[in-house]
Structure 1
């Protein structure tokens, strides 16, 4: 970090399981240091036996495959810079309020993940006809009190998404082995989908011929648009286009004169192609300057806007749009579990 004397810390939402926000407003690097990467857990951290670090692939395949950590590192690899965002990021902003971890803006972080395309591993096992989904089970295990039953954390992907060239089984983060709290030894990385899909402590991959119905697939991580009905429910998948103002901070006092407003923007569809700022409650919008990370198609975009600040209280709005025509809405898509918040972000400041 810039200062040798001080550093930001994670913001704790719960201790058991451990859920902590990244200090997103203070992170100016493309790669989030592991100490500042947000933590999202459903259960206690798993116990890992160093003598038994294998990933198994079974189910609707020609042959069951077991791959050790050392074997995985000998496969052709790729490295991708990708933001991971919790589907509940910004949940605290929904009105009316919804139940769940009250994340603000820090349940998103970005790093460089190195791993093997999942397709390479599935080719080793040999997919059989009729393969519909790949189910990914982590080592984290615990009781769901709402169901009075214990489960491993498990999620599925449509087979087409599992076979995408950029869906990888990662074993390194920012050039080092994946930290224990972020999924060591194996973590699935699914670019542009909310991070519940990027299963940590990956242990088993099952290929199935039907739709997976585990509770983290069909009960959680589902958009329910009505408070008392499951009508029109749909699964949470791709990240909604979103942005954050990192500087200045909300409700801060700044000086009159030239000020730079800064932040980041990201999307789960295409690429960010515009970020716009409004100082007049959305009546007019002015384009910010974008900075892309070269040769990284999934990376967030850094943006800045130079503003001649004048005295008084101001509300600053930011909205991002992407190459697929998606734009942050003025009002969020309310859903009763509080997923996918991506309304126009705003801060209030005072200029002296």
Structure 2
């Protein structure tokens, strides 16, 4: 007898521009299937033109270049398994609430990206002594809010960051040509950084001698602490250590007995080294079993984890998860509140009723 299962769909948060969460609680693949990969757009999709297949490089270089898509395919290719997470992922959990897309747990995905190291392309141009930052411009254009100014999406990296050997100009996702909806034909991939740095629909790369001051660099993607904290604003960069309990779901009813709790964990510094669970509001913790990709010290994949829980007593339970990484960071009990709701990474929790 053939058994059919309901088809999964991404969770739409907004249609214009299109923003969708991955159905992260129902995905058991270590790599997120492309159809379920989260989407974060600031503007409408750019118009499809042949100019999408070329990349202009100019500024503080000895030889400005127009690099064609086909030329990149013949350069040294690299494939990396990289987590991308929207800086606003889990914003819906902040208290008090913050403005912005009310993402829950699904503005994060894990894919295998193939492309050419950015530094190999920049070496073709020859950088001048004045080169300080590298500015990436996408083909997507629209009004930046709240300023209302018409602008393209642009972000920069310092020269040192841009020359890291694992920063890629990617044209494949999970072994297939990079879909247009995910920034194809060419997008930047910056491992360990929140995904705002991985500029989609790459149009141009400008090497500049100063500091880039675009709105997506100096206004958005900045941590603005509470006004009474005494802290100064600072830029959003690397991903905070984080975890999600995929199963059981929040407010699930379960029967007494043994249940396999499972989830994922990731970080923007080093690798995940441990995931702990608590069943008594954080008074004590016990380690889960990690699996997933065998990471090198600077690996960029997430870890899957599981724990066999024997629920012997009926009643309500809160299950907490917290991840640790190789840089000594762990998920805090409470996330760092900031006015734009970036970088949420408080311990993850689900509430269950044992019947």
With the length of structure 2 as denominator, give the TM-score of the two structures: 0.96
Question: What's 1:101 paired with?
Answer: 101
Q: How far 1:257 moved relative to its partner?
A: 0.7
In structure 2, what is the Cα distance between the partners aligned to 1:293 and 1:236?
Answer: 27
Task: Give 4+ residue runs of structure 1 displaced > 4 Å after superposition.
Answer: 227-231
2:345 is aligned with 1:336: no
Residue 327 (structure 2) aligns with: 324
Return the alpha-carbon distance in structure 1 between the equivalents of residues 95 and 143 of structure 2.
30
SS of alignment partner, residue 25 of structure 1? helix
Contact 1:132 1:210 in 2 (8 A): yes
SS at match of 1:196: helix
Q: 1:226 is matched with which residue?
A: 226
Look up the match of 1:300. 302
Structure 1 vs Structure 2 CA RMSD: 1.4
- Contact 2:23–2:36 under 8 Å retained in 1: yes
For residues 239-250 of structure 1, what are the structure 2 equivalents within 5 Å?
239-250=239-250
Could you tell me which residue of structure 1 aligns to residue 179 of structure 2?
Answer: 179
Find the counterpart in structure 2 of residue 41 from structure 1.
41
Q: Distance in 2 between matches of 1:41 and 1:51?
A: 20
Q: Which runs of 5+ in 2 are unaligned?
A: none
- The count of residues paired between Structure 1 and Structure 2 equals 350
Tell me the CA shift for residue 295 of structure 1: 5.0
- The 3-state SS of whatever aligns with 2:35 is helix
Gaps of 5+ in 1: none
**2-structure distance, mates of 1:185, 1:228:** 45
Q: Is the 8 A contact 2:271 2:295 kept in 1?
A: no
For residue 150 of structure 2, what is the aligned residue in structure 1? 150
Residues of 2 paired with 1:52 and 1:285: CA distance? 50
Q: Deviations over 1:269-288 (max 9, x none)?
A: 01000100000000000000
Post-superposition Cα deviations, 1:81-138, rounded to whole Å, max 9, x if no partner, equal 1110000000000111100010000000111000000000000011111211100000
Matched, 1:15 2:15: yes
8 Å Cα contact 2:52/2:201 also seen in 1: no
Q: How does 1:100-179 map to 2 (within 5 A)?
A: 100-179=100-179
Q: Counterparts of 1:109 and 1:286 in 2: how far apart (Å)?
A: 26
Q: 1:225-260: CA deviations, max 9, x gaps?
A: 024899510000000000000000000111111111
